């Protein structure tokens, strides 16, 4: 499955899934935090669907995102295309808050999460 074909109503969940997978893995502590915040309900996806999206992120770009300290042009284009699909300001703010919670779920922010 490619995230390039994700349905429009899953756009916000796809962005959060990319953030969760950006360090090349899906951390159970991040998922637990998202569970506690009811993130999946708030984004309108089931938890198992979110995991599918996160795994697709690992397949699409997650492994390359954590290989270097800069964003490669194809990855930047892919990420920009994902972000532009989330055009509601309130939804963007929700993603930011959930991303912050997920990134700090393990008590630190690693270089590949920064």
Report pLDDT digits (tens) over 17-28: 988 988 888 999
Annotated domain spans of the chain: 8-103
pTM score of the predicted model: 0.82
pLDDT attached to residue 7: 64
What is the C-alpha separation between 28 and 83, in angstroms, rounded? Answer: 25
All residue ranges of the chain with pLDDT < 70 are 1-8, 61-75, 110-114
Q: Which residues of 20-42 are buried (b: 16+ CB within 10 A; e: fewer)?
A: bbbbeebbeebbebbeeeebbeb
């Amino acid at each position: 499955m490619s995230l390039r074909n994700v349905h429009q109503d899953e756009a916000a969940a796809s962005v959060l899934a990319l953030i969760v997978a950006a360090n090349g893995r899906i951390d159970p502590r991040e998922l637990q935090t998202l569970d506690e915040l009811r993130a999946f309900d708030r984004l309108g996806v089931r938890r198992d669907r979110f995991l599918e999206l996160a795994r697709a992120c690992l397949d699409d770009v997650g492994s390359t995102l954590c290989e270097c300290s800069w964003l490669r042009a194809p990855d930047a284009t892919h990420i920009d295309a994902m972000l532009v699909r989330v055009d509601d300001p309130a939804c963007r703010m929700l993603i930011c808050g959930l991303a912050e919670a997920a990134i700090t779920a393990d008590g630190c922010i690693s270089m590949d999460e920064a």
